[in-house]
Amino acid sequence: MKHLPLPPGAGDGVILRQCGKLGWGGRRSLWLAAAARYHKVGGNPWRIKPAGFTGADATALSGLYDSRGSSGPIARIRRPATPFQSCPMCGSLGGRSLDHALPRSLFPEFSILHENLVPACTMCNSDEKGRTYRGVRRPDRFIHPYYDRWASRALWRIQFEPDLDMLQFTPVSLPTLAHRRRRIVDFHVQKLLGKEWRDSVRREWGALPAKLRRRVGASPNVVAMRDELKIRLQDAIDCYGINCWDAGFLRGVLANPAVVTELILRIHALPA
C-alpha cells in the first residue's frame, strides 16, 4: 500500500523490441493499442478489456514472462537498488516477488509490460488472492501502486470487535478518505491481508501489554498510554512505511478508547 514511481523500462519499448523479432511483428498494432489503453486508464480493471489475443498468440505473449521474469529489467522491479520498507502491496515484511496487476491468464498482452508488474511479497502472490483482480461491483479493485498517487497517504487500520477476549478484527479503510477510495482500500486490505497477517496481529496483541509496561510502568493512565502508542506508531512508520502492518495495527489501537482501556487492564494483570 504505497505509491511507487513507474518502474524503469515502462513504456512501449518492451513491445517494440519484441515485435522486431522474427514472427512477432503481426501482433504489434493490437499490442500497442492495448498498452496505450492501459496507460490511459491507469490499469483500472473496470476500464479495460482483454485485447483479444487468443490461442497461440495468447500463449506466446503470456509465456514471455516465463522466459523474462526472473532476470534482467524485470528482476530489478522485484529487487530495486534501494529496498522497499515493506511490501508495496500489503505492508508486510515478507519476501519479494512480483504480481501481475491484471493477470496474464486473462490479459496475456500485459505479461511483461513493466507497468503491470507490481513488486509484492510472496504472501500477496499466494493462493488466497488467486486470480482475483477486481471485485464484483465498481469501484472495488486493488490499489495500483504506480497509478494511485493517493496511496502514499495513511490508508487503513485495524477495527477490533467489542469482545477483546475473542480478539476478532478486520482491516478497514480510514474514515478520513473519500468514499470511492474507501471502497478501493477496503477491497484491497480485505483481499490481501490473510492468515499470515492475522497471526501477526495476534502475536503483537499478546506481547503488547508487557512491551508497554516496560515503557509506561505498571499503573499507566490513558494519556501516557496514548503518548507511548503514538511514539510506537511513528517508529513503525519511519522504519517500515505509513501503511505497514504495525502502523495499521497501532492506528486501530489508538482509534478505539476501549482498546486502550483494555490494554491498561492487561498491564495491571501482568505478573509482577
Q: Report the interface residues with Zn ion, using CB under 5 A.
A: 87, 89-90, 92, 120-121, 124
Q: Are 2 and 124 in contact (CB under 8 A)?
A: no
What is the widest separation between alpha-carbon atoms in the chain? 76
Shortest approach of Zn ion to residue 120 CB, angstroms?
5
Shortest separation between residue 208's beta carbon and Zn ion, angstroms:
23
Kindly state the DSSP code that residue 134 receives in the 8-state scheme.
Answer: B
| Beta carbon nearer to Zn ion, 170 or 176 | 170
* Closer CB to Zn ion, 62 or 125, in the complex: 125
Closer Cβ to Zn ion, 193 or 237, answer by number:
193
Residue 1 to residue 173: CA distance in whole angstroms: 12
| Beta bridge partners of residue 141, listed in sequence order | 134
Distances (CA, A) of 77 to 52, 62, 99, 131, 159: 27, 18, 11, 21, 33
CA distance 218 to 272: 9
Q: In terms of CB distance, is 64 or 189 closer to Zn ion?
A: 189
Residue 160: helix, strand or coil by DSSP? strand
| Shortest reach from residue 197's CB to Zn ion, in Å | 9
CA 98 – CA 222 distance, rounded (Å): 43
Q: Are 118 and 89 in contact (CB under 8 A)?
A: yes
Amino acid identity of residue 212, one-letter, is L
If the CB atoms of residues 118 and 164 are measured against Zn ion, the closer one turns out to be 118
The C-alpha cell at 46 is: 473496470
Q: Which residue, 89 or 112, is less far from Zn ion as judged by CB? A: 89
Cβ–Cβ under 8 Å, residues 44 and 184: no
Q: How far is the CB of 211 from Zn ion (least distance, A)?
A: 25
Rank residues 109 and 148 by Cβ distance to Zn ion and give the closer one: 148
**Shortest approach of Zn ion to residue 97 CB, angstroms?**
8
**Residue 89 beta carbon to Zn ion: minimum distance, rounded to whole angstroms:** 5
Residues 134, 142 contacting (CB under 8 angstroms): yes
Query: Shortest approach of Zn ion to residue 204 CB, angstroms?
Result: 17
